[in-house]
Structure 1
């Protein structure tokens, strides 16, 4: 740590606002405490009514550094806003693996994808009275083949001042090869960055936060790894929340959300930021 160097400013973004009341409440608590400086909103989620939007705006007003973005959603168990979206699975978006495979095999219709993303952007603007500060994707769908071009085109048209999330990491090759999921994100993100650059859409310079949620690892140690070497303007994804019945019904990531919340709300987190000479931008 260099005490004379200015602190690195990074984004710490809580995904999934709108997924459930418990997730929403945890995110708002952390924003008000200055422990987050970004959250992305699922406009297709079941917990994104007028009161939840108003509460988020109130929390962000107490922490003016906080950015609010759109969490573009194209995977089950959620359903589209547009009437003619396809392919569907029982009226819902395809599961993650099926959507990725369809994109890799070029079986998606980019215009249908773009129309759905445009509708989600319009829903965000209607709810919040403004365009999102940034746009990312639930389960990294913005990086998928065929989806990415539609995603970038929709953002460029509806929210030209917004930046978008890419998932490429800043670690060494050896570290990247050790995590197959994150390696796939690196590959897809390289293509996404090229597309964003061509369209002159801004994006984060580096990304961290992907890990195997099923193993319930030590989130404090993970955060130390995420911060290590993350450059100025880099982004860390997180998923804090309180478990409730709606969350249990919709998402397998439950108890780990509470462990993430506990660390981010606790005393060890600001000490870790200070040791790494990092501040939340």
Structure 2
């Protein structure tokens, strides 16, 4: 069986520096797909400056509930924002809200915001082929059902952020940072397994264990150990952000964006040796759009 790899760069739209890095990782490297954030300040820059220069880049929705400002009026999503109108909960905080007595109201406001973000992408004329969530919020029980509905209605591939345990890296740093997150995401799937459109073959996922620390060594190891079928590799390339880039994102995102690993990850993705490795291991690069065109998803 053949091995197909979709290399997705997340956070398109979070800042112009990340937008440029994703553009370069696609034009000069192995990135085939990007997930676009409708609620972040560099959304327009992505739509007007980056996407016209990258016509073969697959684009999907990167739904966000943890950083920046909502696309909805803050008064319509008061449980999700602070007094500045900024998202104020991280992944764990949102899960706590969903487990509280306010669950019904929280889900109603989340649905309002997810629809607002997706509508902004549609209004911008974005031809989307996949959908996922910033910091994996689409995997939260209850939220996953809402995102799966959007995926089915628009025939989008929905990321299922469950990484194979056999992909656990040998590096202690990656294990300690990625393993707890992987366990939490698996737990989420136990509570909510709402599927998007069924794709054949199903799409495997790689990206939690090495999230934020994907260097050339890790990338080579992933390429050498890809399973048969289709796999999505989740990446986060970036250039060093400006002070303005950090004004509209959460503290967690600010720390992530300023990490030197963003440029290391970009360097790994544009390294010519990666294309040689892809050829050597018999891997074919693709986008979700190509996957859907070859084997349409069933609603």
* Fold shared, TM-score > 0.5 on shorter chain: yes
Q: Which has the larger displacement, 78-87 or 255-264? A: 78-87
Question: Is 2:5–2:285's contact at 8 Å kept on the other side of the alignment?
Answer: yes
For the structure 1 residues 30 and 174, does the alpha-carbon distance in structure 2 shift closer, same or farther, using more than 3 Å as the test?
closer
Partner SS state of residue 240, structure 2: coil
Q: TM-score, normalised by structure 2?
A: 0.78
For the structure 1 residues 173 and 136, does the alpha-carbon distance in structure 2 shift closer, same or farther, using more than 3 Å as the test?
closer
Partner SS state of residue 115, structure 2: helix
Question: Is 1:106–1:146's contact at 8 Å kept on the other side of the alignment?
Answer: no
Which residue, 226, 230, 233 being the options, matches 1:229? 226
For the structure 1 residues 212 and 35, does the alpha-carbon distance in structure 2 shift closer, same or farther, using more than 3 Å as the test?
closer
Q: How far did residue 218 of structure 1 move? A: 6.2
Which residue, 54, 61, 72 being the options, matches 1:70? 61
For the structure 1 residues 235 and 190, does the alpha-carbon distance in structure 2 shift closer, same or farther, using more than 3 Å as the test?
farther
Which residue, 97, 119, 122 being the options, matches 2:119? 122
Structure-1 residue corresponding to 2:289: none
Question: Is 1:209–1:226's contact at 8 Å kept on the other side of the alignment?
Answer: no
Which residue, 89, 96, 100 being the options, matches 1:95? 89
* Number of aligned positions between the proteins: 262
Partner SS state of residue 195, structure 1: coil
For the structure 1 residues 40 and 222, does the alpha-carbon distance in structure 2 shift closer, same or farther, using more than 3 Å as the test?
same
Q: In the TM superposition, what are the counterparts of 1:66-215 in structure 2 within 5 Å?
A: 66-76=57-67, 78-83=68-73, 84-87=76-79, 88-90=81-83, 91-96=85-90, 97-105=92-100, 107-108=102-103, 109-127=106-124, 129-157=125-153, 160-172=154-166, 179-189=179-189, 192=192, 194-196=193-195, 200=197, 202=199, 205-211=203-209
Question: Is 1:170–1:229's contact at 8 Å kept on the other side of the alignment?
Answer: no
Which residue, 222, 246, 255 being the options, matches 1:252? 255
RMSD between aligned alpha carbons? 2.6
Partner SS state of residue 96, structure 2: helix
For the structure 1 residues 145 and 34, does the alpha-carbon distance in structure 2 shift closer, same or farther, using more than 3 Å as the test?
same
Q: TM-score, normalised by structure 1?
A: 0.83
Q: Deviations over 1:262-281 (max 9, x none)?
A: 11111222123233321211
Question: Is 2:214–2:265's contact at 8 Å kept on the other side of the alignment?
Answer: no
For the structure 1 residues 173 and 120, does the alpha-carbon distance in structure 2 shift closer, same or farther, using more than 3 Å as the test?
closer
Partner SS state of residue 167, structure 1: coil
Structure-2 residue corresponding to 1:278: 283
Which residue, 38, 42, 48 being the options, matches 1:47? 42
